[in-house]
Structure 1
C-alpha cells in the first residue's frame, strides 16, 4: 500500500533532508503546506506536488490522506498534530514534539485516544555509527554498559539579536536526552553545571544516572564552530569500549594483548579492535545521518505495521528530562 501523506513545512530542513529521503519509500506526497507562498511553490515544483495550501487546517482536511508529516515549530507540532489525530490520521513530526513536556504528554494522550501513531524525528538513533554501537550492545557482545560520555556541540547561531537558549535546548539538546537512553537504558537522574563565556556562549556538563546502574557525562554547548567535528560518544564496559566519532567512524576495542614483545604477534578476530568508516567515494545514495532509516520505520508505523520508530512516548520522556536539565542550571 502506497502511503498518501500531506506535509506541513517546506523549509530547508524539510526539502533537503526529510522529503527527499521520504520519497525513497513507498510514499506519495499528496499535498504540501507552508505559510510562505514562494517557498511552497518551489517545494511543489521540486517534488511534483499539485495540491498546495498555506493553511494547515486545509492540508489536514485533504481527502484521502493516510497521514500527515510536519517540520515546523514546537507549538505548531502540538496544535497540528492534535488536529491530524482528531481526523484519524497518523503523524510524523520533527523533534521537538512540543514546546514543553506537558505539551508532549498532551500529544501522547491524543495519540492514545485516537489509536493512531505519532512518530518523532529522533534520527540520532539511526545515524549509522550510533546504529552500529546500539546493535553491538543489543547483541550481548559488549556485555554490561558501565558508562557513557557524549559530546554534542554547536555554534551560537540560535542567538541572532536576543539571547534565548530555548531554541538550543529544544532543537539541539533534546537529541541526547533520547539518544543516551536509547544506547544505555532509561535515564534515572540528571543534573548539570554550566559556564557562560558571554551571553549566547554556553557550555555545560551534565551528570547522568541510568536505570541499569551505568553513569554518564554529556557535554553540550554553543562554543564550537559547526565547521569542525562536534560529536563524539564513548561507551565503556568491562574491557570493552565503543567510540563513535561524528556518527561515521566506529571503533570497538575489546581485550587485545600487548604485541611489542610477542614474536608471534598477529591480529586476533576474537580480541583485537574492530573499526568501521564509510567509503564516501562510493556511488551510493547513503544517508549516514539516519533520515532514510528513520523514515523507513516511520512509514511502517504509519501503515500500522510493526516498527521500532521513536514514538511520542519517547518524545515526552525526552522532553521531561530536558526540562529537568534546564531547571538544574536555571536556564
Structure 2
C-alpha cells in the first residue's frame, strides 16, 4: 500500500533527515510546500513531487492526498495540522507539536473530531541505543526501574539570538520531556531545578524528578557544550543491574558478576557479566542510528491504519506539559 503525502517545510532538517525515510516506507511525496520557493522546488526535484506550493492551505487542498507531513515552526504545526485534520487527513508533525500544551490539546481535539491520527516526531525513542535499552527494560531480567540519569547538552551557537532560550526549550529540551518518562514507564510527578547561567545564552541546569511510579532521577541539560562533541548519556538503574547508553549508539548492560581477579577458573558468563553493543560503521548498510528511519516506519504504519507504537499527539501534550512545568521552575 502506497500513501500520497503532502509535505510542508522543505528546510535542511526535513529534506536530509525526514523525507529520505518516506519512500523506504511506502510513502510517495506527491506535493511539497515552503515559503522559500527555491527550497520547495529543490525538494520536489529530489523526491519527485508533482506539485510545488508556497501556501500550506493550497498544499492541503491538493487532490488525492492521503496524509500531511510537516517540519516547520510550532505555531504553523498547530495551524496547519488542524487545517489538515479538518479536511480529513492524518498528520505527521515534527516536534514540538505546538508552542504550548494548550495549543497541542487543540490539535488533539481536532484529531478526535476527524477520527484521524496525529503522530509526533519524538525520534529519541527510536535512536538505536535507546531502542535497545527500551527493549531490555520490557524483558524479564531487568526488573523494576529505580532511577534514571540523563544528560543532553547543546551549544549556545545552536540558538544564537534567543537568549530567552525559547528555541532551546521547544526544540531541544522537549525531547527528554518525552524520552525520560517513556523509559520510566510513568510521567513526572515532582520536579525541582537548580541552574547556573555564566552569561546570557549560556545556561546549565539540573532537573531532579520523581515519577508517579516512584522512579527518581536527574536530567542535565544546557547550552554550554560544543555540538562537535558527544552530548548525550543515559543511565538507567535497577536492582543489581543497570543500563548505560552513550552517544545514542553505545549500549552496556551491567549485571552482578563475581570478582574474577583471584579466581584461576574465571570465565565470562552470559548470565552475570556485562553485555555491550556498538554499531559497525564499516558495514555497507543503510542504517539510521539517530532513529528517523525507525520512527517513520512506525508513522507509516499508523497512517495506513496498522498497529503502531509511533508517538501520538497525546505524547506531544504530555511532553509540552512537562516542558512548561520545567520552564516555570527555572
Give secondary structure in 2 for the equivalent of 1:28.
Answer: strand
Partners of 1:268 and 1:229 lie apart in 2 by 31
Aligned to 2:177: 177
Q: CA deviation at 1:151?
A: 0.2
Q: CA deviation at 1:211?
A: 1.6
Aligned to 2:102: 102
Q: CA deviation at 1:158?
A: 4.2
CA deviation profile, 1:17-58 (whole Å, cap 9, x unmatched): 000012211111110000001111111111121211101000
Q: CA deviation at 1:162?
A: 4.7
Partners of 1:8 and 1:308 lie apart in 2 by 24
Q: Which runs of 5+ in 1 are unaligned?
A: none
Contact 1:158/1:165 (CA < 8 Å) preserved in 2? no
Q: Give runs of aligned pairs for residues 268-287 of structure 1, distance below 5 A.
A: 268-287=269-288
Partners of 1:22 and 1:177 lie apart in 2 by 26
Q: Give runs of aligned pairs for residues 189-204 of structure 1, distance below 5 A.
A: 189-204=190-205
Contact 1:67/1:89 (CA < 8 Å) preserved in 2? yes
Contact 1:158/1:167 (CA < 8 Å) preserved in 2? no
RMSD: 0.8
Aligned to 2:210: 209
Partners of 1:161 and 1:184 lie apart in 2 by 35
Give secondary structure in 1 for the equivalent of 2:299.
Answer: helix
Partners of 1:140 and 1:167 lie apart in 2 by 40
Give secondary structure in 1 for the equivalent of 2:25.
Answer: coil
Contact 1:196/1:202 (CA < 8 Å) preserved in 2? yes
Partners of 2:177 and 2:318 lie apart in 1 by 8
- Structure 2 residue 63 is the aligned partner of structure 1 residue 63: yes
Aligned to 1:235: 236
Contact 2:192/2:207 (CA < 8 Å) preserved in 1? yes
Contact 1:155/1:226 (CA < 8 Å) preserved in 2? yes
Aligned to 1:297: 298
Partners of 1:291 and 1:69 lie apart in 2 by 14
Give secondary structure in 2 for the equivalent of 1:298.
Answer: helix
- Structure 2 residue 153 is the aligned partner of structure 1 residue 153: yes
- Structure 2 residue 87 is the aligned partner of structure 1 residue 87: yes
Q: Which runs of 5+ in 2 are unaligned?
A: none
Q: CA deviation at 1:70?
A: 0.1
Contact 2:30/2:48 (CA < 8 Å) preserved in 1? no
Aligned to 2:258: 257
Q: CA deviation at 1:140?
A: 2.3
Structure 1 segments (4+ residues) deviating >4 Å:
none
Contact 1:34/1:40 (CA < 8 Å) preserved in 2? yes
For structure 1, which segment, 156-165 or 189-198, has the greater mean C-alpha deviation from structure 2 after superposition? 156-165
Partners of 1:80 and 1:252 lie apart in 2 by 43
Give secondary structure in 2 for the equivalent of 1:152.
Answer: strand
Q: CA deviation at 1:160?
A: 2.6
Contact 2:160/2:201 (CA < 8 Å) preserved in 1? no
Partners of 1:220 and 1:162 lie apart in 2 by 16
Give secondary structure in 1 for the equivalent of 2:298.
Answer: helix
Give secondary structure in 1 for the equivalent of 2:328.
Answer: helix
Q: How many residues align?
A: 329
Q: TM-score, normalised by structure 1?
A: 0.98
Q: CA deviation at 1:238?
A: 0.6
CA deviation profile, 1:236-289 (whole Å, cap 9, x unmatched): 011001000011100000000000000110001110000000000000000000
Give secondary structure in 2 for the equivalent of 1:92.
Answer: strand
Give secondary structure in 1 for the equivalent of 2:244.
Answer: strand
